[in-house]
Structure 1
Amino acid sequence: MPSVEKILIVGGGIAGLCTAVGLKNSGIKAEIVELNPKWDVYGVGIIQLANALRALAALGLAKEAIAEGFPMSSLVMWRPDGEPIATLPQPQIAGPDFPPQNGIARPKLHSILQKAAQAAGARVRLGLTVAHLEPTPHSVKVSFTDGSHGEYDLVVGADGLRSRVRRLAFPGAPEPQYEGQVVWRYNLPRPAEVDNIWMWMGDPKVGIVPLGPNLMYMFITDAAPGSPPRFPEAALAQEMQKRLDGYRHIPLLAQLRAQITDPSKVVLRPFETILVPAPWNQGRVVLIGDAAHAMTAHIAQGAAMAIEDAVVLTEELRRQTSLEAALQAYNHRRFDRVRQMVEMSRQLCIWERTHDPKADPVGVTMASVQLAAQPI
């Protein structure tokens, strides 16, 4: 193990919390700072494909996530007229005790990770982030936005798409890029027949994802060129319903459309991407998760890549005899795999918004599944 005794993790989301969990029993003290004083997340769902479950299993958290979610086996694609296109089975790569995929409410996953990080011994400070980073030959001196200071052997930037750590330590890094598409999400009661991910491949694309015995969420990917649209909050439910007007001939979607009534529960987000060039560290400052690579949701790999980052980084910190070697190994194991995921998800996004007649969503989706199944 390298001579690392104290790590600062900036960001208390999926990537940061999984990093703290991965350091359990390592002898390394982890401190998390999270800007959001409530330390909460918005309340829709998340898809955990087999590689996400495999990474959670490495952290000892997969069984709890499955117990709180809805295990599934396949992705079912439909034409916009309701005729089937394909059923894509997912590989059971996490082991015989785990399903091929799982749907879980985002707040439930967040709660699991929060409890696990604290049980691992991480110190958590809320309502602040980093203000300044001063590298030294053997540490990073950190000034925080609340006026406090600290000194750490390693700083992990897990603070998301608009990472302050990235801005401070990687001044030449690219900025997030809007991809001309937005996604609408809404939680709904789960009909009994919906037991896998279902998607209607029209314009816009519509999907439903089980999250529990009585819960699922709907998503709609919607082309919005130029800049992300803005609507008054009071109009969000009506606007989401409008995106389903072309699916009224499908009884299930017509029924679900009528249940989208509460504008406060509509979650509308733009698809934005970033891929920081390798290496993802500058000295003793390293990026993980969306701070290093954010992708569209088309292959459901954003959170999975963040969890894998945390697993690999903490494995290498335990395995290598120097911090430099650990960070080199982390970069080597992560960059190309993540780059391919970012590119495949972006390709699907481009095809959807441009209506490319040569698009092959089934082929690219299956290629992403095959890549995900490879060892990390």
Structure 2
Amino acid sequence: MSTSKDWAGDAKNASTTGEFVRDTRYIDDRILASVEKPEQQEDGRTFWPVVPGKYRLMAARACPWAHRSIITRRLKGLEDVISLGLAGPTHDKRSWVFDLDPGEVDPVLGIHRLQEAYFERFPDYPRGITVPAIVDIESKSVVTNDFPSLVPDLNDQWSEYEREGAPDLYPESLREEIDELTSYIFKEVNNGVYRCGFASTQDAYDQAYERLWDALDYLEERLSTRRYLVGEHITLADIYLYPTLVRFDAVYHGHFKCNRNKISEMPALWGYLRDLFQTPGFGDTTDFKEIKEHYYIVHTDVNPTQVVPQGPDLSGLVSEHGREQLGGSPFAPGATAPGPVPEGERVRNMLPEQQAFFEG
């Protein structure tokens, strides 16, 4: 088996059949409210304490896996508790780079590449330097990049410090259904677009294409009678699906050959996407310029010219969606939408219509 790495966090193995296989081995430490100091576990993991101001969430607006952590942090109102470092959209094989900041170094950690935080803890770290990652600010070393647990932990473990009115995005009564659906979405949609884009044989691509569209057709049907994926309000299930849907027409349709049709041509999914996009925390954390630059410039095996397309027209994302007629509401009674985006965290490259909607 030959192995290659896409250091955007899309570590992949090219199997003998040409199928894309994601490397899902991560630093699976966790930050828990139940511990007072770092505790080494028998399985080698470390559990870290919840301490405001101790950690920095390292992310990139281009990355769908990081995007879900940015959305969750914003909805929970943890901006003053866990700071946010943002890498630029393009990089080489060594790792994400903080080239959007003055001097091309992260202003808190003082590092140029995210790789430095990984090597600070694991000098011979052998796998992809991925976002999202949480870094201990004092030691400048990575704590975890295990995005499957990182995002639910932002909902569960930091509740003492979340904003007043923060929604519960992972209700106990819905967890079994959320877990089942998000597992399906990860395999068939979040990862499904990559199986299409990085397939290296026709058969592998054809199979990936069929699986992806079977899943999208299922979600189209599911969302034709309900406003959100699980229950009556936004949950982690919606946060996990959104980053793939919002990137679909701009990137995956053409770049990854997921081109049966666009999301804007699927009535239920298109209305659902517009509904989420217009909710604070979603559209106001989405940077299409950085998203397109990342995929079209970094993936030289897919796009060797590195030409970034100007289209498509995405202004329709702020048009009326009419999803209110299905019932439900973005947040449960007693919960509220987050306030304005903090000054230093505003999306740099908002579309004119996007800016008018959120800041006008």
What TM-score comes out, normalization by structure 2 length?
A: 0.30
Max Rg structure: 1
Quick check: which one's strand share is greater? 1
TM-score normalised to the size of structure 1? 0.29
